[in-house]
Amino acid sequence: MSGERQVTSGWLGELPGSLFDKGGPGRRGLTFPRWEGEPAPKLPASVLRAAPADFPAISEPEVMRHFTALSNLNHHIERGMYPLGSCTMKYNPRLNEQVAAMQGMADLHPEQDVADIQGLLGALMHLEKALCEITGFAGCSLVPAAGAHGEYLGMLVIRAWHESRGDTGRTEILIPDSAHGTNPASVAIMGMTPRQIASKADGRIDLEALKAAVGPKTAGIMITNPNTLGLFENDIVEVSRIVHEAGGRLYMDGANLNAILGKARPGDMGFDVVHMNLHKTFSTPHGGGGPGAGPICVAEDLVPFLPGPRIGKAADGTFTLERMPGVDDTAIHAYYGNVGVCLRALAYILRNGRNGLKRVTECAVLNANYLKHQLKDVIEVQHAEDCLHEFVATGAGWKRDFGVRTLDIAKRLLDYGVHAPTVYFPLIVEEAFMVEPTETESRESLDHFVAVMKRIREEAATDPDLLHGAPHHTPVGRMDEAKAARDPDLRWMGPCNC
Partner 1 sequence: MPYVPHADEDIRQMLAVMGLDSIEQLFSHLPSNVRLGRDIDLPLGLSEEEVRNWFSCAASINHGTTELVSFLGGGVYDTVIPAVIDALVSRSEFLTAYTPYQPEVSQGTLQAIYEWQSFVCRLTGLAVANASMYDGATALAEACQVAVATKRKPLVVLPATLNPRWARVVRTSMRGAGIAVVEVPAGIAGTTDAAALESVLANAQAAAFVLPNPNYLGLVEPVAELSAVAKAAGAIVIAAVNPVSLTLLKSPAEYGAELCVGEAQPFGIPPTWGGPLLGFLSCTDEHKRRIPGRIVGRTTDSRGQDGYVLTLQTREQHIRREKATSNICSNQGLNMMRATIYLAMLGAGGLVELGEANRARIEALRKRAAAVPGVTLPYTGPVFNETVLRLPRPAREFRAFARKHGVLAGIPLDGVADCGPNDILVAVTEKRALYQIDQYAALLAEFAATGGKGK
Which 94-123 residues touch partner 1, going by CB under 8 A? 95, 97-113, 116-120, 122-123
CA distances from 162 to 136, 220, 424 (A): 22, 10, 37
Alpha helices in 101-225 (DSSP H): 118-135, 147-164, 182-189, 207-213
- How many chain residues are in contact with partner 1, going by CB under 8 A? 200
In this structure, the dihedral spanned by the alpha carbons of residues 36, 40, 41 and 43, taken in order and rounded to 10 degrees, is -160
To the nearest whole angstrom, how small is the minimum distance from the Cβ of residue 78 to partner 1?
4
Instruction: Determine if 152 is a binding residue for partner 1 (CB under 8 A).
Output: yes
Enumerate residues 199-228 that contact partner 1 by CB under 8 A: none
Closest CB to partner 1 among residues 6, 59? 59
Residue range at the interface with partner 1 (CB under 8 A); choices 147-155, 250-258, 391-399, 451-459:
147-155
Helix (H, G, I), strand (E, B) or coil at 287: coil
Closest CB to partner 1 among residues 243, 461? 243
Instruction: Determine if 154 is a binding residue for partner 1 (CB under 8 A).
Output: no
Instruction: Determine if 369 is a binding residue for partner 1 (CB under 8 A).
Output: yes
Bridge partners (DSSP) listed for residue 298 = 139, 273
Helix (H, G, I), strand (E, B) or coil at 449: helix
Instruction: Determine if 258 is a binding residue for partner 1 (CB under 8 A).
Output: no
Instruction: Specify whether the backbone of 436 is left (phi greater than 0), alpha (psi in -120 to 50) or beta.
Output: beta
What's CA 482's distance to the chain center, in Å?
26
Residue from 10, 165, 245, 289 binding partner 1 (CB under 8 A): 289
Residue from 7, 81, 87, 297 binding partner 1 (CB under 8 A): 87
Instruction: Determine if 77 is a binding residue for partner 1 (CB under 8 A).
Output: yes
Enumerate residues 27-66 that contact partner 1 by CB under 8 A: 27-33, 35-41, 43-44, 46-50, 52-58, 60, 63-64, 66
In this structure, the dihedral spanned by the alpha carbons of residues 93, 98, 104 and 105, taken in order and rounded to 10 degrees, is 30
Instruction: Determine if 373 is a binding residue for partner 1 (CB under 8 A).
Output: yes
Enumerate residues 464-483 that contact partner 1 by CB under 8 A: 469, 471, 474-481, 483
Bridge partners (DSSP) listed for residue 394 = 380, 432
Enumerate residues 418-447 that contact partner 1 by CB under 8 A: 419-420, 425, 439-443
- What count of other Cβ atoms lies within 10 Å of the Cβ of residue 129? 11
Residue range at the interface with partner 1 (CB under 8 A); choices 19-27, 208-216, 296-304, 453-461:
19-27
- The Cα–Cα gap between 243 and 253 comes to 16
To the nearest whole angstrom, how small is the minimum distance from the Cβ of residue 442 to partner 1?
4
Q: Peptide bond before 325: cis, by omega within 30 degrees of 0?
A: no
To the nearest whole angstrom, how small is the minimum distance from the Cβ of residue 128 to partner 1?
13
In terms of DSSP bridges, do strands 310-313 and 296-298 run parallel, antiparallel, or are they unpaired? unpaired
- The Cα–Cα gap between 354 and 367 comes to 20
Instruction: Determine if 78 is a binding residue for partner 1 (CB under 8 A).
Output: yes
To the nearest whole angstrom, how small is the minimum distance from the Cβ of residue 320 to partner 1?
15
- The Cα–Cα gap between 198 and 428 comes to 10
Instruction: Determine if 72 is a binding residue for partner 1 (CB under 8 A).
Output: yes
Enumerate residues 294-323 that contact partner 1 by CB under 8 A: none
* Helix or strand (DSSP H, E) at 357: helix 339-374
